[in-house]
């Protein structure tokens, strides 16, 4: 009886120790699992926070650089294609330079001859180098009734015409942008060539003689008329204004 009780007590102690061991093992496993889960959670949060920080930093840096480029603080990167550059043409102001110079020189020459004819008319002096007989007879022409138009000496009319021609044929007048100046030039040349045709008719068919100085003025007037017509045909009625209307072009 006593031996049986002792055996049962010993078995109970052994069972209690085994149960305590299992409980300790279970508790340790639970603690280890909890620790592992907590570490994983912390690690995940750290990784997530680190990734977010890196992404946020990169985004912020990109926005800051873009703003700096826009403000001009950071130069833009070079590209393969060059930026188009606006290149303005330097168009000719008015007709060709040779025409401007030629008309101005011719007008000065006509003015010089007209001054000499006017002086000879009022001083009644003989024109130098001009014969007084035959077809070429300057004195017969300059003293004829046809040497006056409306009571005004033709020499004085020629002087007034070429004073105006020097101004209207100057390069400054050719380069003017006012339409009236160019129309006035054309009108004056039409009137001038018409008057020249009348004088040539009077010399050949009424007086029967010609004057070399008068003929030189007629030739100069004809050349000015032709050059003015060429300028109007090639560069328009207002050649001085055409250069301003030409737009600038872009170089490739």
Helix, strand or coil for residue 203? Answer: helix
- Contacts of residue 103, defined as CB under 8 A and 6 or more positions apart, other chains included, come to 169, 174, 224, 227, 228
- Contacts of residue 188, defined as CB under 8 A and 6 or more positions apart, other chains included, come to 161, 164, 165, 168
Largest CA distance in the chain: 192
Q: What is the DSSP string of 116-138?
A: HHHHHHHHTPPPTT--BSSSBBH
Residue 238: its pLDDT value, please?
A: 78
Per the CB < 8 A criterion, the answer to whether 104 and 170 are in contact is: yes
Q: pLDDT for 11-51, tens place per residue?
A: 656 655 555 555 455 544 444 444 444 444 444 443 344 44
Q: Are strands 148-149 and 86-87 parallel, antiparallel or unpaired?
A: unpaired
Here the tokens at position 92 are 């000719």
Does the structure show a pLDDT above 70 at 205? yes
Q: pLDDT for 221-247, tens place per residue?
A: 999 999 999 999 988 877 755 444 444
Residue 159 pLDDT level (bands cut at 50, 70, 90)? very high
Which residues, listed in sequence order, are joined to residue 249 by a DSSP beta bridge?
87
Q: What would the mean pLDDT of 50-62 be, rounded to a whole number?
A: 46
Check residue 49 and give left, alpha or beta (phi > 0: left; psi -120 to 50: alpha): alpha
Q: Please tell me the pTM assigned to this model.
A: 0.60
Give the domain 98-237 fold: de novo design (two linked rop proteins) (1.20.1440)
Here the tokens at position 81 are 């294609």
CA distance 180 to 248: 27
User: Looking at 27-41, 87-101, 107-121, which range is the least confident one?
Assistant: 27-41
């Amino acid at each position: 009886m006593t031996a049986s009780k002792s055996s049962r007590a010993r078995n109970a102690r052994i069972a209690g120790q085994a149960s305590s061991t299992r409980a300790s093992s279970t508790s340790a496993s639970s603690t280890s699992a909890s620790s592992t889960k907590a570490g994983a959670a912390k690690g995940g949060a750290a990784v997530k926070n680190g990734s977010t920080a890196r992404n946020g930093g990169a985004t912020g840096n990109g926005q800051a650089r873009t703003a700096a480029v826009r403000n001009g603080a950071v130069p833009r990167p070079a590209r393969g294609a060059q930026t188009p550059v606006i290149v303005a043409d330097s168009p000719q102001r008015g007709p060709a330079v040779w025409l401007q110079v030629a008309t101005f020189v011719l007008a000065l020459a006509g003015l010089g001859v007209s001054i000499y004819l006017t002086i000879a008319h009022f001083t009644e002096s003989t024109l130098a180098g001009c014969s007084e007989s035959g077809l070429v007879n300057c004195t017969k022409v300059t003293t004829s009734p046809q040497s006056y138009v409306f009571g005004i000496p033709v020499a004085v009319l020629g002087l007034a015409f070429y004073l105006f021609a020097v101004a209207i044929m100057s390069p400054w007048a050719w380069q003017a942008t006012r339409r009236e100046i160019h129309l006035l030039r054309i009108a004056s040349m039409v009137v001038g060539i018409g008057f020249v045709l009348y004088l040539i008719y009077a010399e050949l068919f009424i007086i029967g003689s010609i004057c070399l100085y008068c003929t030189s003025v007629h030739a100069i007037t004809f050349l000015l008329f032709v050059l003015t017509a060429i300028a109007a045909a090639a560069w328009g009625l207002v050649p001085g204004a055409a250069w301003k209307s030409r737009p600038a072009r872009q170089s490739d």
